[in-house]
Structure 1
Amino acid sequence: MTKVTLYIAASLDGYIARNDGGIEWLSILDTEGEDFGYSDFYESIDAIVLGRNTYEVGLGFDEWPYPGKKSFVFTKRHLQSNHEDVVFVSDPVNNALADIETQGFENIWLVGGGALINSFLQHSLIDEYIISTIPTILGSGIQLFPPPSPEEQLELINSKQYSSGLLQSHYRRKVNP
């Protein structure tokens, strides 16, 4: 059974990037000796799903940020990649996820962005949420859960507070009987 986990950082007011896609405000995550559980999480996943804009942000880093993991990029554009582990997907998320599951991937990281997160929410495809709340108010930008988002009941698995002020909360989607 495939498990999809949204692992993401957001500002205190619920934004994952500035209006222009800028994420430099996430510099709080560049804390020496602290990766906020990222390495353990990264080792636990088999594949990555992300939207085109998030993919393009990743291309702007000095090194590809998702080495050794198959990355499925959702886009309607015809794109090509220099990374052999990148696959472009144009199917609806529920069909694409079913296809990813048939390829043997069980633990999927939903990286973002907001529109793709919303598509997964619309189909109740997110099983767990690990949200790192950054103690910054951006005032505007790309919303973590852009409307219209369906109502989703979650249960807290755990939370951890870091000295930087970052608060990481781990939730599981409640499955109604």
Structure 2
Amino acid sequence: MTKVTLYIAASLDGYIARSDGGIDWLSILDTEGEDFAYTAFYESIDAIVLGSKTYEVGLGFEQWPYPEKKSFVFTQRHLQSEREDVVFVSESVKQALANIETEGFKNIWLVGGGKLINSFLQHSLIDEYIISTIPTILGGGIQLFPPPTPEEKLELINSQQYPGGLVQSHYRRQIKN
């Protein structure tokens, strides 16, 4: 059984990026000696799913941010990559996830963005949520859960507060009876 985890940072007012896609406000995550449990999480997953705009943000980094993991990029555009670990998918999230599972991937990191997160939510495909709330109010931008978003009941697994004000909450989707 495949497990999909949304692991993401959001501003206090629920944005994952500025309107132009900018993520400079995430500099709080560059705290020396603290990785906010990222390394342990990254080692626990075996594949990544992300939208094309989030993929393009990743290309802007000095190094590819998802080394040694297969990345499935959801897009309707005709994108290409020199990387052998990047695959572009255009089918529905349900079909793509079934194909990813067929390839043997069990622990999937849903990186973002907002539209892709919403597509996974529409089909109840997110099993766990690890949301790092950054103590910043952006006042606008790309919403973590853009409407229309279906209602989803979650149970808290744990919550961790870090120096600097970041709060990381880990939730599990409640199984509907």
Q: TM-score, normalised by structure 2?
A: 1.00
The answer for the alignment partner of 1:135 in structure 2 is 135
| Cα distance in structure 1, aligned partners of 2:176 and 2:59 | 40
| Cα distance in structure 2, aligned partners of 1:49 and 1:126 | 12
In the TM superposition, what is the alpha-carbon distance from 1:94 to its structure 2 partner? 0.3
Q: Find the residue that maps to 2:54 and give its secondary structure.
A: helix
Q: Find the residue that maps to 1:98 and give its secondary structure.
A: helix
User: Moved runs in structure 1, 4+ residues, more than 3 A?
Assistant: none
The answer for the alignment partner of 2:54 in structure 1 is 54
The answer for the alignment partner of 1:104 in structure 2 is 104
| Correspondence list, 1:14-163, <5 A | 14-163=14-163
- How many residues align? The count is 177
In the TM superposition, what is the alpha-carbon distance from 1:166 to its structure 2 partner? 0.1
In the TM superposition, what is the alpha-carbon distance from 1:73 to its structure 2 partner? 0.1
| Identity in percent | 82
Gaps of 5+ in 1: none
In the TM superposition, what is the alpha-carbon distance from 1:82 to its structure 2 partner? 1.5
| Cα distance in structure 2, aligned partners of 1:35 and 1:82 | 29
| Cα distance in structure 2, aligned partners of 1:176 and 1:51 | 27
Write out per-residue CA displacement over residues 145-165 of structure 1, whole angstroms, 9 at most, x where no aligned residue.
000000000000000000110
| Cα distance in structure 1, aligned partners of 2:48 and 2:164 | 27
Write out per-residue CA displacement over residues 85-139 of structure 1, whole angstroms, 9 at most, x where no aligned residue.
0000000000000000000000000000000000000000000000000000000
Q: Write the letter of the residue equivalent to 1:21.
A: G
| Cα distance in structure 2, aligned partners of 1:108 and 1:94 | 13
Q: Write the letter of the residue equivalent to 1:159.
A: S
| Cα distance in structure 1, aligned partners of 2:119 and 2:69 | 22
| Cα distance in structure 2, aligned partners of 1:176 and 1:132 | 26
Q: Write the letter of the residue equivalent to 2:25.
A: W
| Cα distance in structure 1, aligned partners of 2:85 and 2:124 | 26
| Cα distance in structure 1, aligned partners of 2:46 and 2:170 | 19
| Cα distance in structure 1, aligned partners of 2:110 and 2:33 | 25
Please give the root-mean-square deviation of Cα atoms over the aligned residues, in Å. 0.3
In the TM superposition, what is the alpha-carbon distance from 1:57 to its structure 2 partner? 0.1
Q: TM-score, normalised by structure 1?
A: 1.00
Q: Find the residue that maps to 1:32 and give its secondary structure.
A: coil
